Amino acid sequence: MTQQTWDEVGGVLPHDEFRAASEAVVANIEQVIEGKTATVRLALAVLLAEGHLLIEDVPGVGKTKLAKALARSIDCSVRRIQFTPDLLPSDVTGVSVYNQETHDFEFRPGAVFANLVVGDEINRASPKTQSALLECMEERQVTVDGVTYQLQTPFMVIATQNPIEMEGTYPLPEAQRDRFTARIAMGYPGPEAELAMLDGHGAADPLQELRPVSDADTVRRLIATVRNVHVADAVKQYAVDLVTATREAPDLRLGASPRATLQLLRTARAVAALEGRDYVLPDDLQALAVPVLAHRIIPTADAQLARRTTDAIVAELVHRLALPPDRKRPTGYDTPRPAAGNGRPPFEPRRP
C-alpha cells in the first residue's frame, strides 16, 4: 500500500463533522489530562497546523502523558523515543544493513517513520543525535546513504524537556527550536483538577485504557479543512508586523524567523477552525504569539541580567503593537464564533 506523503491530504470536512471529530479527540485526551483544556486544544491545533510541539515544564506535571494521550487518541502509527546520551542518529532515522542472503544492503527504518513520534527528554541526547530530526521535521523526509525516503502524513514530533534539571543535558540549538511550531508549558493543575486526578488516577492509569477516537484518514481531512481557513490581507500584515517587532526589539539579539511567521499563520488557522470559524482574527495571532514565537528568540545580555523572560518580552510586544483597524469578520465568511459557556475556553493573549 502506498503511503500518503505530507502534501497529500483528503477532502475538506463539513463544519459539523470537523467539530465532532476535533471535540472527540479533545474529550478523549481529557480523560487523562485533568483541567488543561486550553493546553490540550493548543496541542491539537499544532497537529492540524502540520507542525511539531515542544512541551517544556518541571517534572511530574504530565508532559509525557499529554504526548502519549494525543498519540493514543488517533489510530495511526506511533513511535516513542527515549532520548539518552548514548542514542545514535541511526536509531532515529534508520540504517542500511547488509543482507547476506541477497548480498545487498537493505534499509531498516528508524523510529521517526511513524505518524506521531514522541521524543521524551529530547535535550538529554547529544547534538549529533538531535540534528537527526532536522530534515524530517522541516522537509518530511529522511535521507540515508544518499537515498531519500518520504514520511507519511500526518507527521508530528512531540518532544518533552525539563528546563530545571540541566545536569547531563544538551540545550537544543536554535535551528532545532525553530522547527518546533509551538512550545507549551503544562503548569500545575488547580486544586479541583488535582483532587479529581486523585480519584481518576489513584487506582489505575487511565492512559492504559485510552482508545482511539480518530484515525489517520480523518486527521488528513481535518488538516485539509484547516488549510482552507480564510486569512484576510490585514491579518497577514499584522502577522508580519508582529514578527518584525521581535527583530527590532532592543531586548532581543535574535528575532523570529520567516518560518515563525508562516507557522504562526498556520496555527492561527487551526485555532480558528477549532473555535468554529472559517476565518482568522487578529486575536488568534495575539493569543498564539507567546507559544509560537517565544522559544525562537534570544534575549540580549542586559535583558537576561534584568531577568526578563522571552515570554514577557513577546507579551509586551503584543500589548504595544496596534491591531488592524477593522477586526470584523470578512464579508462572505459568516460562520458564527462559538458563544461563551460551550465548554471550549478561548485562547487568551498573555499580558506582561
Residues 272-318: tens digit of each pLDDT: 999 999 999 999 999 999 999 999 999 999 999 999 999 999 999 99
Please tell me the distance from the alpha carbon of residue 206 to that of residue 18, in angstroms, as a whole number: 26
Give the span between the Cα atoms of 275 and 229, in whole angstroms. Answer: 12
In a domain, 346, yes or no: no
Q: Are residues 222 and 243 in the same domain?
A: no
Residue 349 belongs to a domain: no
217 and 108, same domain (yes or no): yes
Query: Sorting pLDDT into bands at 50, 70 and 90, what band is 203?
Result: confident
Q: Which tens digits make up the pLDDT trace of 143-155?
A: 998 899 999 889 9
Question: What pLDDT, on a 0 to 100 scale, did the predictor assign at position 328?
Answer: 56
**Cα within 13 Å of Cα(138), Cβ side:** 14
The residue type of 210 is L
Contact (CB, 8 A) for 49 and 55: no
How far CA 313 is from CA of 25, 83, 172, 323, in Å, comes to 33, 31, 21, 18
For residues 299 and 178, state if they share a domain. Answer: no
Same domain, 285 and 247: yes
> Domain total for the chain?
2
**Most confident by average pLDDT, 51-55, 73-77, 344-348:** 51-55
Claim to verify: residue 155 and residue 183 sit in the same structural domain: yes
How far, in whole angstroms, is CA 36 from its chain's centroid?
15
Helix or strand holding residue 47 (H, E)? helix 37-48
Say yes or no: 20 and 136 in one domain: yes
pLDDT score, position 8? 58
If asked whether residues 218 and 252 sit together in one domain, one would say no
Instruction: For 157-194, give the DSSP string.
Output: EEEEE-SS--TT--PPPHHHHHT-SEEE---PPPHHHH
Q: Model pTM?
A: 0.86
Cα angle 274, 275, 277; round to 5: 100
- With beta carbons less than 8 A apart as the criterion, state whether 296 and 313 touch: no
Residue 351 lies in a domain: no
φ/ψ (deg, to 5) at 313: -65, -45
Residue 332 lies in a domain: no
Task: Name the 3-class secondary structure at 104.
Answer: strand
Q: If pLDDT is split at 50, 70 and 90, which confidence band does 7 have?
A: low
49 & 100 share domain: yes
Whether residue 245 lies inside any domain: the answer is yes
Assign residue 274 the CATH number of its domain.
1.10.8.80
CATH number of the domain residue 109 falls in: 3.40.50.300
Q: Which three cell numbers stand for residue 92?
A: 532515529
Residues 82 and 218 in one domain: yes
Residue 344 located in a structural domain:
no
Res 343 pLDDT > 80? no
Same domain (yes/no): 74, 128: yes
118 touches 81 (CB < 8 A): yes
Which amino acid, 78? V
| Matching residue, cell 496541542 | 43
Q: Is residue 339 part of a domain?
A: no
Note whether 172 and 218 are same-domain residues: yes
CB 186 within 8 A of CB 66: yes
Q: Are 103 and 62 in contact (CB under 8 A)?
A: no
- Say if 176 falls within a structural domain: yes
On whether both 40 and 161 belong to a single domain, the answer is: yes
Range of the domain at 247: 233-320
**pLDDT score recorded for residue 303:** 94
